[in-house]
Amino acid sequence: MELEPSPLDSELNAMKITLFVLFIFCTAGAFGQAVLSNQPQVIQSPSHPLHAAVHAMATESPLVGGEGYTYAQGERPLWEFGPVSQPTPLGDVARAYRKEKLAARKAEIVFEKQGS
């Protein structure tokens, strides 16, 4: 005759696993404290005395390639940007949506009560 495991056994098993994992973490922390040196290390950032001094700028170099520098001024004609689209008024969109909704196929069977 076999006995079914009780819910208390599964809770005890979960607690044992949790305590074991906690024990492993605490052991790793203690090991880390024992291995690391407790002597402080002073960190100094390097000083740059010429950082804010005035000096000549570097020569310019193009990022994309090429050698020249082009400059243009003025306005571009509107036809270069493509066709202008006319937005549909919101009222027309609403009327079209209402017509679609009325023309949609209705359900053939209507359930009055659903569920219990």
- Per residue in 30-75, pLDDT (tens digit) is 887 766 666 777 888 877 766 666 778 888 777 776 666 677 778 8
> So what's the pLDDT on residue 94?
96
Which among 83, 99, 79 is positioned nearest to 91, based on CA atoms? 99
d(CA 34, CA 28): 10
Q: Compute how many other C-beta atoms are within 10 angstroms of the C-beta atom of residue 76.
A: 8
The H or E element spanning position 67 is none
d(CA 18, CA 39): 35
Which among 21, 17, 18 is positioned nearest to 29, based on CA atoms? 21
Question: Who contacts 78 (Cβ-Cβ below 8 Å, separation ≥6)?
Answer: 84
**Single-letter amino acid, residue 38:** N
Please tell me the pTM assigned to this model.
0.28
